[in-house]
Amino acid sequence: MIEADNHTYDLFSIPPSGVRGNWISFIHQLQDDICTALEQADGKAKFFEDKWEREEGGGGKTRVIANGDVIEKGGVNTSIVFGDVTEQMRKQLKIEGHKWFACGLSLVIHPFNPFVPTVHCNYRMFELYNEQDEVIDRWFGGGTDLTPYYLIEEDAIRFHQVYKNACNKLDKSFYPEFKKVCDDYFVNTHRGNERRGIGGIFYDHKRPNEKQNVAFWMQLANNCGYAFIESYIPIIEKRKRTKFTEQHKHWQEIRRGRYVEFNLVHDRGTIFGLKTNGRIESILMSLPPTVRFEYNYQPVPGSDEDKLLQACLHPKEWITEESTEQEKLEWARRSNSC
């Protein structure tokens, strides 16, 4: 048994693992800290927690927030799930082994104001065991990506800079590698390779080795997980009072439709949850509250809406050189465009 935040998870059915316990503690602390930061930035709404259990093994804590001064709908979820590897998993998820375990945090925030971007974040660990209860595979994955409705380049640059800094603490090759993976993953291929947003970082199936051990990958998750607060909360504070019109909301809902398309058609996390009898309310928590699907809708060429679309069609290198301390201070100094 593992006791975590007044909830007991029966893990006797899978092999003991100190790594697993450390990861669970990290994920739950990250959930608490992110929720606190988001509540403070919103100023009105509070998270509601819904604890749930999965019949085949495990459970989670779904925390939802809605109808705030900033956040229209959002969730910061953690899950600890495990069980036997089924034939369906072997065939559809290409998983080999006897038992499996997965634990992670996943969040999506949909603000009301179209000038505050939607954001997604996910950090997870996966283990596989053989019939002798030995760990035969372990990998880490995660990332954070930004989905603006109107492209404010200084926000995009700062967001990417925070994640570059987080990656550089361990390996300077990570940011360009993870940015490209992110650009190539969050893509609606059925719409001419249109990206969901302006990217961020994404990595998957990172297995410990002699050079980059378990502690290394856990530290990366810590760096990038807490970079969420540093990268996103200042954008909320800077843009949440920006005035907007019905036209801006209309475009936001058009782009939210693209978000829905990716999550339901392409997203591996959604597919994994559905194939492992995950909790449907938690899986679909990522969907926005209101969307529009209008036939062959195209923004006016050269408009602010078209500027965002072009950034999604043609991914950009946001960090061409290190931002100076003066540039960072200047970004923080500038007032809201209200």
Q: How far apart are CA 103 and CA 109, in angstroms?
A: 20
Q: How far apart are CA 111 and CA 118, in angstroms?
A: 6
- Residue 326 pLDDT more than 70? no
Residue 338 lies in a domain: no
- Residue 79 pLDDT more than 70? yes
Residue 235 lies in a domain: yes
- pLDDT per residue over 97-141, tens digit each? 889 999 999 999 999 999 999 999 999 999 999 998 889 999 999
Residue 103 lies in a domain: yes
- Residue 6 pLDDT more than 70? no
Instruction: Tokens for 296, please give them.
Output: 């062959």
Q: Where are the alpha helices (DSSP H) in the chain?
A: 18-42, 87-92, 153-168, 174-185, 214-239, 246-265, 268-275, 280-283, 304-313, 325-333
- Residue 278 pLDDT more than 60? yes
- pLDDT per residue over 12-36, tens digit each? 566 667 899 999 999 999 999 999 9
Look at residue 25 in the predicted model and tell me its pLDDT.
96
- pLDDT per residue over 41-58, tens digit each? 999 999 999 999 988 899
Look at residue 335 in the predicted model and tell me its pLDDT.
45
Q: How many other β-carbons are positioned within 10 Å of the β-carbon of residue 87?
A: 7
Considering the chain, what percentage of its residues have pLDDT values greater than 70?
Answer: 90
Query: Of 160, 315, 179, 190, nearest to 260 (Cα)?
Result: 190
When pLDDT is cut at 50, 70 and 90, the band that residue 337 belongs to is very low
Residue 336 lies in a domain: no
Look at residue 100 in the predicted model and tell me its pLDDT.
92
Q: In sequence order, which residues have a C-beta less than 8 Å from that of residue 57 and are 6 or more positions away? A: 10, 13, 14, 81, 82, 83
Helix (H) or strand (E) holding 59: strand 58-66
Residue 294 lies in a domain: yes
Q: How far apart are CA 181 and CA 57, in angstroms?
A: 32
Domain of 178, CATH number, reads: 3.40.1500.10
Query: Of 105, 106, 111, 94, nearest to 43 (Cα)?
Result: 111
Residue 120 annotated as catalytic: yes
Instruction: Tokens for 94, please give them.
Output: 């290409």
Domain around 86: 2-331
Residue 323 lies in a domain: yes
When pLDDT is cut at 50, 70 and 90, the band that residue 322 belongs to is low
When pLDDT is cut at 50, 70 and 90, the band that residue 2 belongs to is very low
The domain tally of the chain equals 1
- Residue 293 pLDDT more than 60? yes
- pLDDT per residue over 302-316, tens digit each? 999 999 999 999 999
Residue 337 lies in a domain: no
| Torsion sign over Cα 308, 116, 221, 275 | negative
Look at residue 3 in the predicted model and tell me its pLDDT.
46
When pLDDT is cut at 50, 70 and 90, the band that residue 7 belongs to is very low
- Exposure letters 191-211 (e unless 16+ CB within 10 A, then b): eeebbbbbbbbbbbebebeee
Catalytic residue among 28, 120, 160, 248: 120
